[in-house]
Amino acid sequence: MRKVKVYITLKEGVLDPQGKAVKNSLNTLDYANVNEVRVGKYMEVMMEDAENLEAQVEEMCEKLLANPVIEDYSYQIEEVIA
């Protein structure tokens, strides 16, 4: 069994209203040293190992998990000891 950790972030230059809202809230809570916040998605995918696992993960990200127009993705594959 494998645990694939997928990180999905907005591409550089894409507006991030959610990030701005979080940043403003943090500054309002007196965390004045917070300059910028970028909000993205974090997914943990539990899947059976496969010969072409990396290729499969790339395909899953390109086809479904990330929007290639505005998002970047990265991932880590970990072995899960049952």
Given the rule CB under 8 A, which residues bind a copy of itself? 1, 7-9, 19, 22, 25-26, 29, 31, 33-50, 56, 60, 63-65
> Smaller CB distance to a copy of itself: residue 29 or 69?
29
Give the shortest CB-66-to-a copy of itself separation in angstroms. 12
Please choose, from the candidates 6, 3, 11, the residue with its C-alpha nearest in 3D space to the C-alpha of residue 75: 6
Query: In the chain, what is the greatest distance between 2 CA atoms, to the nearest angstrom?
Result: 51
73 touches 57 (CB < 8 A):
no
> Smaller CB distance to a copy of itself: residue 17 or 63?
63
60 SS3 class: helix
Give the shortest CB-15-to-a copy of itself separation in angstroms. 15
> Smaller CB distance to a copy of itself: residue 25 or 67?
25
Residue with tokens 């069994």: 1
Amino acid, single-letter form, for residue 41:
K
Give the shortest CB-35-to-a copy of itself separation in angstroms. 5
